[in-house]
Amino acid sequence: MNCPRVEVDLSKIRHNSQTLVARLKARCIRVTAVTKAVCGHRAIAQTMLDGGVDGLADARLSNVQSLREAGNTCPITLIRTPMLSQADDVVRFCDASYNTQMTVIAALAAAALRQKKVHGILLMVEMGDLREGIMPQDLGAIAQQVADMPGVALTGVGANFACLNGTAPNSDQMRTLSDLATDVERRCGAMLQTVSGGNSANLPWALGGHSIGRINDLRLGEAILLGVDPVTGDRINGLFHDAFKLVAEVIEVSDKSARSSVSAAGPNTGGLRLVPNEAKAARLLLALGKQDTDVLGLSMPAGHTFIGATSDHLVISSKQATLSVGSEISFQMNYSALMQAMAAPDIQTKCLDDVPSPIVQAPKGAGAHLALI
């Protein structure tokens, strides 16, 4: 089988989707599944839809296009503000897009009129993350312009949190977003279909006990795919966190020391690291490198320790004596490792759809004896 490869267990993605959809449904919040971390992978997207999500969203038009080419006709929203140069294709492939710029919205409207379509516009509001968004005081006037513009329909407002500044939204911010939605409706005399509260970082707020106000949608990627809260890194109860694994092949086994060859001052070492202080571990070289994934986002299997990586090689130490050249080793990935691996040209994705084994909870306090190298 192809190596390196990402193996994805679709049954776990389905379970995570179903579980989050059910939990949020009880709070009257819909789920839009975000496929950008898996590059709009067709089978994974379909599995999210099978799991009951309301629609899909992606940041890149190329991913949306691939979903459309696969025959996917579900609602797809572009969650990154469209490039002006892509306005025509955004209208062609997406039902709606999140926007912050009037010039772009005008170009989308013109494209929609040419294509005899109506393109949905959701306005993204800046609420503290300081990435994309219209300043709240400007929202009303922009919403009015969009509502009056032929070719586009104002379908919603939304906000994004915890992407650039890493802090989850609080109740005050969510109340403000609800109030802004109500203000827009009063001003424009139109009902907003969607008030989107944010990404996976909003789950603690959305599933908390308080009122949800006008929020009726969340855009979820990481929580569905990896079962973790992106702000804390904590595993979300009742979800699988091991739907994906990255499998790489051993290409050299030796007993070179982990210590001698590493100069902490060198430009490529990435600084000092802690590794187990054990002389008797074999040193493995794997055909996997920084060009394939975020090597620091890989979880080493038990008995294995990360030593270093270059563009095409990963060096780890292993206490498992049975490993030889040609053996395969599997790693779990964090979000950063996953998205890079899914986009890497040399990594193929293999889908499994097994009956999932029970959810394994995180081991508590895994300690090791460490030495500085």
List of residues contacting ligand PLP (CB under 6 A): 34, 36, 59, 79, 160, 163, 199-200, 219-223, 230
Element (H, E) at 98: strand 96-99
- The C-alpha atoms of residue 125 and residue 133 are separated, in whole angstroms, by 4
Q: Residue 60, Cα to own-chain centre: how many angstroms?
A: 13
- The C-alpha atoms of residue 180 and residue 197 are separated, in whole angstroms, by 12
CB 317 within 8 A of CB 304: yes
In the complex, minimum distance from the CB of residue 12 to ligand PLP, in angstroms, rounded to a whole number: 16
Nearer to ligand PLP, 48 or 373 (CB): 48
In the complex, minimum distance from the CB of residue 226 to ligand PLP, in angstroms, rounded to a whole number: 9
Whether the ω angle into residue 75 lies within 30 degrees of 0, i.e. cis, is no
Nearer to ligand PLP, 120 or 230 (CB): 230
What Cα–Cα distance (Å) separates residue 330 from each residue in 53, 59, 288, 372?
30, 29, 12, 26
In the complex, minimum distance from the CB of residue 31 to ligand PLP, in angstroms, rounded to a whole number: 10
In the complex, minimum distance from the CB of residue 202 to ligand PLP, in angstroms, rounded to a whole number: 8
C-alpha closest to that of 223 among 162, 176, 294: 162
Q: Which residue is nearest to ligand PLP (CB)?
A: 221
Nearer to ligand PLP, 233 or 326 (CB): 233
Phi, psi for 268 (deg, rounded to 5): -105, 5
In the complex, minimum distance from the CB of residue 49 to ligand PLP, in angstroms, rounded to a whole number: 16
- The C-alpha atoms of residue 339 and residue 357 are separated, in whole angstroms, by 25
In the complex, minimum distance from the CB of residue 237 to ligand PLP, in angstroms, rounded to a whole number: 17
Phi, psi for 154 (deg, rounded to 5): -75, 110
Element (H, E) at 92: helix 87-93
- Got the DSSP string for 321-347? TT--TT-EEEEEE-HHHHHHHHH-TT-
Nearer to ligand PLP, 226 or 284 (CB): 226
Pair of tokens at residue 152 = 């586009």
In the complex, minimum distance from the CB of residue 59 to ligand PLP, in angstroms, rounded to a whole number: 5
Nearer to ligand PLP, 199 or 317 (CB): 199
In the complex, minimum distance from the CB of residue 111 to ligand PLP, in angstroms, rounded to a whole number: 22
Nearer to ligand PLP, 222 or 308 (CB): 222
Nearer to ligand PLP, 20 or 281 (CB): 20
Nearer to ligand PLP, 34 or 61 (CB): 34
Give the CA diameter of the chain. Answer: 73
Strand partners of residue 184: none
